[in-house]
Amino acid sequence: MKLQNSFILREYLRPQVLPTTWCPGCGLGIILSAIAQAVHYRGLDKRDVAMVSGIGCTGRMSGYVDFNTLHTTHGRAPAFATGLKLARPDMSVLCVMGDGDSMSIGGNHLVHAMRRNIGLTAIVVNNAVYGLTGGQASPTTPVGGRTTTSRSGSIERPMNLETLARAAGAAFYARATVNHTAALVKLIERALAVPGFALVEVVSNCHVLYGRMNDLGDAAEMMQGMEGQTRRVNPVLLRRAALPHRLGTATSAQGHVSTEPVFDEDLRVQRGVIFEQPHRPDYARRYQTMLEGLKSKRAEAQT
Amino acid sequence: MTVVERGIYRIELNRTLCKACGLCIAWCPQQVLSADAEAYPVVSRLAACVNCKACERHCPDFAIEVIPPQS
C-alpha cells in the first residue's frame, strides 16, 4: 500500500524547501519518496533516523527530508556516517550517494565502510553519469555510452559494485530501479533491518544528460526501458540458498551459506536481493565483544 | 474476484510542486490524465480511475494524490 503523498510531505519532508531542484522527471524524487515510506513501514521515529549525503544531484536529498541530516564533502558521506554510527549506535544511519560520489571520489571510503561492515544503510543512486556538473563519464558509464567527456562512446570498463561489495564484506546487497517502486520501498525497508553494512543500488534515469546524448528518450521511456533491461532474481531461490539442509554444500560455523554469484546466459541486470552475508559480524558486535573482553580482563586483574 | 469500483476517487494535483514531467500521464493505465497546453497534467477522465496509484508512485515531486472516498 502506497502512503499518501500529502502524508509523506507532512511527516517526512521539509515542504518549505520544495519543489526540489532536480530536473522534471528525475528518478531521485521517486527514491526520496521510497526512503520516506521505508522509514515509515519500519516504524522508525524520524528523530532516530539520520541521512548523510555527499555532493551531487543525490547529495541534495538530505536537504529535503525531515530527519537528522548531514550534507558532507564530496565522496565522504560514508566517513561521516561511520563517525555518526560510532557516536550514536542506536540511530539508523542512511548514507545517500550517487554513482560518481560513491565509486569515484569516495571510492575508498565506501570500500572501507564495507570492509568494517558497520551498520549503515547505503543507497547508491546509479544513473551512469555525473549529472550536476554537466554529464561527464562516471565509473558506471557502460562501454559505448556517449557523455560530454566521451563523445564517441566510453571505452572504459564500468565498475562492478556488486562484486566489489561482496569482496569487501558488505552484509547485504540489493538492486532496485526507479521503475519498480514497490520493490524499491521493500528493499530499502529490508536494508534498514540489517545490522551490518547494507547497500541498495538504485538504477535511476538521467534523461536530460545521458538519455539525450544516447537517444534513450524522455524520463518515461527510460523508465520503461529498465523493465526490459533488468530481471528479477527469484527471492524464493535466495531464501532456499540460505537454508543449509536444502543444499549439499559445506556450511560455515554459523550454519549459513553465502549465496555464490550466479553466472548464466541471461545478460539482463539482476534486481532484487543480490546477496546476503549474515554470518559476517558487524562492527558494533565486534566492538561490544572487545569491550566485554577488556572488562572481564580488568575484573580478573583486580581479584 | 475483486470488483473494481470506478468513479468514486478524487485526484488532487498540486500545481506549485508539479514540474510537468509527464510521468503520471505516461504511467496511467486508464488514460485518466492528459496534458494541457503547458504540459501540466489535467484530470480528463476521472470516472475511469481505478485507484492503482501508478501516477502517485511515479511522481517524483509529490504533486499528485488519489484520494479514496472514505478519507
C-alpha cell read off for A258: 553465502
| B62–A2 CB contact, under 8 Å | no
Q: What pLDDT, in 10s, does the model give residues B15-60?
A: 899 999 989 999 999 889 999 888 899 998 888 888 888 899 999 9
Residue in chain A nearest B67 by alpha carbon:
A4
pLDDT tens for each residue of A121-135: 999 999 889 989 988
A62 versus B3: which is more confidently predicted? A62
Q: Which domain holds residue B40?
A: 10-67
Over residues A11-34, the pLDDT tens digits come to 899 989 988 999 999 999 999 999
| Domain contains B1 | no
C-alpha cell at A77: 558521506
For chain A, give the mean pLDDT.
85
Residues of B within an 8 Å Cβ radius of A = 12, 16-23, 26-27, 53, 56-65, 67, 71
Model pLDDT for residues A146-166, shown as the tens digit of each residue: 899 988 988 888 888 989 999
Distance to chain B for A96, nearest Cα, Å: 17
What CATH number did the domain enclosing B35 receive?
Answer: 3.30.70.20
Sorted by sequence, the CB contacts under 8 Å of residue A123 that are 6+ apart come out as A31, A35, A94, A95, A96, A97, A188, A191, A199, A200, A202
Which whole number is the average pLDDT over A177-205? 90
At A267, is the pLDDT very low, low, confident or very high (cuts 50, 70, 90)?
low
List domains and CATH numbers for chain A: 5-233+267-302 (3.40.50.970)
Q: How many domains does chain B have?
A: 1
For the stretch A31-46, what's the b/e string if a residue is b when 16 or more beta carbons lie within 10 angstroms of its beta carbon?
bbbbbbbbbbeeeeeb
CB contact under 8 A, A18 and B17: yes
Determine the pLDDT at residue A114.
93
ipTM of the assembly?
Answer: 0.90
pLDDT on residue A6: 85
CB within 8 Å: A2 and B53: yes
End-to-end CA, chain A: 59
Least confident of A50-64, A197-211, A263-277, B1-15: A263-277
| SS3 label, residue B51 | coil
